[in-house]
Amino acid sequence: MSENYIMETKKINCAIVGLGRIGSTLEFDRKREKPASHAGVISAHKECVLSSGCDIDEAKCSNFKNDWNCPDCYTSLSQMLENHRIDILHIATPPETHKNILEKAIESKIPVIIVEKPVSDNLKDAVKIEKMSLKSDSRIIVNHERRYTQQTERIKKNINECRYGKLLSINSKMYMGRKRSLESMIYDDGTHIIDLINYLSGGCLRIDDITGSEKEGHVSVYAHCSEIYIQMEFARGREYLLFETDLSFEKGRIISGNGYYDEFESRESPYYENFYSLMNKDVNFSTSGYFIRMFEDAVRCFKDPGLVPVSDITDGVNAVRIINEIIRKI
Ligand SMILES: NC(=O)c1ccc[n+]([C@@H]2O[C@H](COP(=O)([O-])OP(=O)(O)OC[C@H]3O[C@@H](n4cnc5c(N)ncnc54)[C@H](O)[C@@H]3O)[C@@H](O)[C@H]2O)c1
């Protein structure tokens, strides 16, 4: 625990750089599970205080001060870092800005830094950030929020405990609207799927083959991790948004998507003699806890500098490396 934490205030001081959608305004989307933004999650945590914000856009600063009743907002990051003792810094700016901001945050010895995914818009910078952070005392959490959901925690536990026998394959799909380029889709959003699959399969995802192209609007990635067979499909041209992960085990299957979760167990078939069928186990989740559980990881890391976050900088860089490999081939 830092000395300052005890001496200056009982609360953990948090600040945000980048006061756009994920930094602040997604909180006001009436349909989203809350908290849905960095400002929202800090404000909802009783051990933390939202002490300041920073955005190069003055209008964003002014809205932020009103929306969150936060007195201090800066258009200069250096000034914010000089004026405030920050325990947890949230970086919610576009990916191409992450490297410079992280450099300043690490130089300022911020104990815990949460950076939005993807770590960077290019692999070279992502690797530089990783090297820099590994030499420092700052711990970086990459907000690949799907790692943190209750659903993912249950899946990971099932895998680790071999509840349905060995995990044999993972199939995942990400579908989006007509206008998106596959490259931006994979960089901005596909990173969640890539990171999640790498996490669930044990962190050793290796690509075997890639088919499809930007022109076709469809890409299939064939990969493996140890003996687990992996397929990822990215496609545009749908009227709906789909993120789905389908895991098949020796004795079961789990399908987890945005807003749904189904877990099946192999049982003596009610439909055929001498066969087994998959029967739904009726596992229900009313929420996912995606944002609050990520932030609780940051708070834990702040209180105990020995802890390694669930989603660390190396995980984030691995996702950028895999994205790069896919994008080079489409
Ligand atoms: N975890 C998620 O599910 C999720 C969801 C949305 C966005 N994101 C990620 O969050 C990041 C931001 O996305 P967004 O949709 O909120 O973008 P946004 O454009 O709505 O907000 C970004 C803000 O950063 C500010 N900004 C830009 N450069 C800056 C700088 N150098 N210093 C200070 N402020 C700066 C902009 O003025 C803007 O207000 C991206 O990396 C994006 O991929 C993650």
CATH number at residue 300: 3.40.50.720
**CB-based contact 88:298 (threshold 8 Å):** yes
Percentage above 90 pLDDT, the chain: 95
Q: Is residue 19 part of a domain?
A: yes
Residue 71 inside a domain? The answer is yes
Whether residue 281 is found in the same domain as residue 306: no
According to DSSP, residue 191 is labeled H
| DSSP-based three-state secondary structure for 254 | strand
- The closest-lying atom of ligand 1 relative to the alpha carbon of residue 75 is 33
Best of 61, 116, 192, 195 to mutate for ligand 1, by most ligand atoms within 8 A of CB? Answer: 116
- Residue at 119: amino acid letter: V
| Contact criterion met (CB below 8 Å) for 263 and 244 | no
Same domain, 49 and 134: yes
Q: Tens of pLDDT along 129-141?
A: 999 999 999 999 9
Is the Cβ atom of 56 under 6 angstroms away from ligand 1? yes
C-alpha 91 – ligand 1 centre gap (Å): 8
Q: Are residues 51 and 78 in the same domain?
A: yes
Same domain, 49 and 119: yes
Residue 238: give the domain boundaries. Answer: 150-288
Q: Is 200 left (phi over 0), alpha (psi -120 to 50) or beta?
A: alpha
Asked if 235 and 301 sit in the same domain, the reply is: no
| Centroid of ligand 1 to alpha carbon of 163 (angstroms) | 39
* Same-domain check for residues 137 and 187: no
Q: Is the CB of 316 under 6 A from ligand 1?
A: no
3-class DSSP state of 268:
strand
Same domain for 127 and 27: yes
pTM: 0.96
Tell me how far apart the alpha carbons of residues 42 and 40 are, in angstroms, rounded to a whole number. Answer: 6
For residue 243, the domain's CATH number is: 3.30.360.10
Please give the average per-residue pLDDT across 201-222, as a whole number.
96
Residue 323 domain-assigned?
Answer: no
- Domain shared by 307 and 276, yes or no: no
Catalogue the E-assigned strands of 144-285.
167-175, 206-213, 218-225, 228-235, 242-249, 252-257, 260-268, 276-280
Max distance between CA atoms of the chain, in angstroms, equals: 73
Domain count, the chain: 2
What is the spatial distance between Cα 93 and Cα 87, in angstroms, rounded to a whole number? 19
Instruction: Give the per-residue pLDDT at 180.
Output: 85
Atom from ligand 1 closest to the CA of residue 101: 31
